[in-house]
Chains A and B, each alone.
Chain A
Amino acid sequence: MKILVCISSVPDTTSKINFTSDKSALDTNGIQFIINPYDEFVLTKAIKLREQHGGTVTVAHVGPANNEPTLRKALAIGADDAIRVDAEATDSFFVANELATIAKDFDLIMAGRESIDYNGGSVPAMIAEILDLGLINGCTGLEINGSNVSGEREIEGGKESLSASLPIVIAGQKGLVEESDLLIPNMRGIMTARTKPLNVVTAQANEERTVSISFEKPAERASCKLVESGNEAELVALLHNEAKAI
C-alpha cells in the first residue's frame, strides 16, 4: 500500500503570534516551526498501517526550503521519503492542486483535518474533489483490510462508523492514535533521515484564488474582576446584571 501523508509546517503551539509592522505577514522572529499537530497523529497512524500491511509512507509538503527541517523530522519519525513542492503555501486551492498532482499515484492519502496556522481545514476535501475520491473528514479511527476501508468520524453529538474503498482521502485527528502513542524521532531515526530521499519539485503554477490582505490580533480584554471565594452570589449577580451572560 502506498500511503501519502500531507504535512504542514506551523508555529509551535506555545508561540505568541505577532505580525510584521505593516501587518501583512506573520513575524517569524523567534518562532519555532513544527509538524502541524493534527498531521502528527496521521503520520503515526500511517507508519502503523505500513507495519501491518507493508508498503511505503511518503510525506508531501508545499513550502520553501527553510521548511525542510519539518520534513526531515517526519523522515526521522519513520516516513520513507519526502516530496517538497517549492512554493509558498498561501491559498488552499493552490496547495490542494499541487498535492493532488502528487497524490494521484497513491492508495491512501492522509492529512490532518486542519493546520493550526491558517485553519482553512479545506485542503484534504479539495484534494478528494480534484481527484474524484471519497473522504472521511475529522477521522478518529481507521482500519484497512485489502482494499476495504473502515473508518470512524466525529459527528454532532456522537460518532459514526463508515465503510469505503481505497483509494480514499482521510483528514485525521486525535483518536486515529492516542497522544501517548505518537512516535517521536530516536537517534537512529535522526541519523537515517539524513540520507532518506527528499525530492524537491517545482510548482505547477496553479491558480491562487485567495490572498491575505492583513492580519490583526484580538482586542485585549479589560482586567479581570475578582470576586471573593465564598461570595458566589455576587458572581451570579455580576454575570446576570453586568455581563448579561445568564
Chain B
Amino acid sequence: MSVLVFAESWDGKFKKGTFEAVTYAHETAKKLGVSTTAVTIGKLADDAAQLGNYGADKVICISNNINTCDSQGMSAAIAEIANKEGASLVIIANSNTGKTIAPRLAVKLSAGFISNVVDTPSNDTPFTVKKKAFSGKAFENAQCNNDKCVLALAPNAFHIVETAGSATVESFDAANRVSKVTSTNVEKATGKISLAEAEIVVSAGRGLKGPENWGMVEELAELLGAGTACSKPVSDIGWRPHAEHVGQTGKAVAPNLYIAIGISGAIQHLAGVNSSKVMVVINTDPEAPFFKSADYGIIGDAFEVVPRLIEEIRNFKANN
C-alpha cells in the first residue's frame, strides 16, 4: 500500500504545486507508515528522480502523451496506477488541471473526494482533513466515509520540504484512449507569473482611476517577481482581463505577500485574499475596510505612494 501523488508538469516542468503535493503525500504517508509513489504523465524536461528530494520513494512515469484538456484520459491513466499500487489515498494539487481530473478520478476509484485541503489529515481512520469553505471565509473539517479518498490540495497552503531522499523511477504504458475533447489552439501570455502559485501578488482597484495607470502596478510587480491581480469592478469594466480578478467570485490567492492598491476591501474581495500571509494596503481613505484586515498600511494617494515604494524597493534590492 502507498500514498499516491500526481506530479503535475507543465511544458515538461514540475510546478511549485507539484512539490507541495509530493511533500504533503510524504508527510501523510509517514504518519500512516506507508511509502509514497509519485506519478507523472507525458514527456518530461525535468528529471523525474528529483521528486525523491521531496519524499517520493518511487516515481512511475506514464509514457503516453495525454493532453491536459483530456481529463478523462488523464484520470483513467492515474486510476490504472492507483489500482496497481493499491493506493487508498491519492493527492492532487488543486490547479486548473488538478481540478479537472481529481473529481473524475474519485468517481473511477469509488473514492471520497475532498478539495481545497489545507492541512495533513487530523485523523486517518476515517480520514479527516481541514479544507477551505465559503470561498475563504471559513474552514471546514471534512471526513471521508470511504476507505479510499482523493484529496485536492489548495495552492500555497502547504510548505515544500526537501528531504534529501531518493526515488526509483519506472516507466508505464497506460491504455490508449480516444479523447472526447481536442485542443485546437493555445494562447500563452509569456513571462506571466501564475497567480495561484505566486509568492507575491500586487493587486489594484478602482482607486487607480483608469487602465492607463497600471504601468506602476506592473513595474512594482516585476520588481518583486510578483503576479498582478485586480478587484472585481476593475475586471467588470474591462480595465484588466478576467483572469486577474481575485476575490470570492474570481480567483482565490494565498501568497506570502499581498499588496492591495486602491482597493477598499469589500467582504467579497477579502474572502479571496485573506489566506495571504502578509497583507499591505495603500488607500487614500482611512475608513477603507481593508485597513481592518491588513497587516501594514499607508494612508495616502497611490499615485504618490507607489512610485516612492518602487524607488525604495529598488534601493533595497540594490543593497541586499
The residues of A with any CB-CB pair to B shorter than 8 Å are 11, 13-17, 19, 26, 37-38, 91-93, 96, 113, 116-123, 125-126, 128-130, 132-138, 140, 150, 153-165, 168, 173-175, 178-180, 208-218, 221-222, 224-230, 232-233, 235-236, 238-240, 243, 245-246
C-alpha spacing A130/B224, complex, angstroms: 45
> Per a CB cutoff under 8 Å, which of B71, B245, B274, B304 touches A174?
B245
Q: A-B contact count, CB below 8 Å?
A: 280
- 12 more contacts with CB within 8 A, not counting A129-B104, A221-B293, are A119-B116, A119-B133, A119-B135, A123-B103, A134-B72, A155-B186, A162-B183, A163-B184, A178-B236, A226-B291, A236-B316, A243-B295
Given contacts A160-B187, A235-B309, contact A215 B100 (CB under 8 A): no
What is the bound-complex CA distance between A216 and B119, given in angstroms? 14
Please indicate which of the listed interface residues B96, B179, B186 has the most CB atoms of chain A within 10 Å of its own CB.
B96
Residues of A within 8 A of B235 (CB): 174
| A159 B187 Cβ-Cβ under 8 A | yes
Decide yes or no whether B43 CB sits under 8 A from chain A.
no
* Majority DSSP secondary structure for residues of A touching B: mixed
CB distance from A244 to the nearest CB of B (A): 8
Q: Are B135 and A116 in contact (CB under 8 A)?
A: yes
Q: Say yes or no: A232-B183 contact (C-beta < 8 A), given A137-B99, A209-B145.
A: no
A160-B248 contact, Cβ under 8 Å, with A14-B268, A215-B141: no
A229 touches B189 (CB 8 A): no
In the complex, the answer to whether A128 meets B72 with C-beta atoms within 8 Å is yes
Report A-chain residues with C-beta under 8 Å of the C-beta of B206: none
What 3 A-B pairs are tightest by C-beta distance, nearest first?
A229-B300, A134-B180, A122-B103
- CB contacts (< 8 Å) of A180 on chain B: these are 236
User: Which residues of chain B come closer than 8 Å to A173, judged between CB atoms?
Assistant: 242
In the complex, residue of chain A having the shortest beta-carbon distance to the beta carbon of B255: A245
Chain B 52-87: CB-based contact to A (< 8 A → 1; otherwise 0): 000000000000000011011001000000000000
| Nearest Cβ on chain B to A160's Cβ, whole angstroms | 5
**Residue of A162, A209, A226, A246 touching B113 (CB-CB under 8 A):** A209
The interface-forming segment of B159-167, B168-176, B276-284 is: B276-284
Any A CB within 8 A of the CB of B106: yes
- Are the C-beta atoms of A235 and B296 separated by less than 8 Å? yes
Distance (Å) between the CB of A202 and the closest chain B CB?
22
Partner of A155 from the list B68, B72, B113 (CB cut-off 8 Å) is B68
Pick the contact of B188: A26, A132, A157, A225 (CB < 8 A). Answer: A157
Contacts A19-B138, A156-B10; A229 near B304 (Cβ below 8 A): yes
Query: When the two chains form the complex, which single residue of A13, A26, A138, A233 contacts B96, counting CB atoms closer than 8 Å?
Result: A138
> B299 at interface (Cβ–Cβ under 8 A)?
yes
Residues of A within 8 A of B29 (CB): none
B242 and A92 contacting across the interface, CB-CB below 8 Å: no
- What separation, in Å, do the CA atoms of A96 and B107 have in the docked complex? 10
CB-CB under 8 A from A211, the residues of chain B are 142-143, 145
Give 6 CB contacts A-B under 8 Å: A38-B249, A122-B115, A135-B71, A212-B143, A224-B297, A226-B298
Do the beta carbons of A116 and B248 come within 8 Å of each other? yes
For chain B, residues 93 to 108, give those with C-beta under 8 angstroms from any C-beta of chain A.
94-96, 99-104, 106-108
Mark contacts of B284-320 with chain A using CB atoms, 8 A cut-off: 1 yes-contact digit, 0 otherwise. Answer: 0000000111111111110011001101110110001
CB-defined contacts of A230 to chain B, threshold 8 Å: 300, 308
Which listed residue, B68, B107, B114, touches A129 by the CB 8 Å rule? B107
Are B133 and A16 in touch, CB under 8 angstroms?
A: no
Which residue of chain A lies nearest to B75 when distances are taken between CB atoms in the complex?
A129
Give B223 Cβ to nearest chain A Cβ, in Å. 10
Q: Is the CB of B142 within 8 A of A213?
A: yes
| Cα A68 to Cα B271 with chains together (Å) | 27
In the bound complex, residues from chain B placing their C-beta under 8 Å from that of A209 are 106, 111-113, 144-146
B181 touches which one: A96, A164, A217, A225 (CB < 8 A)?
A164
The distance in angstroms between the C-alpha atoms of A144 and B176, with both chains bound, is 28
Contacting pair A140 B242 (CB below 8 A): yes
The listed residue (A13, A122, A157) touching B192 by CB distance below 8 A is: A157
For the complex, give the distance between the alpha carbons of A224 and B289 in Å: 11
A140 CA to B187 CA in the complex, in Å? 14
Residues in chain B near residue A134, CB distance under 8 A: 72, 179-181
User: CB within 8 A of A135: which of B181, B312, B316?
Assistant: B181
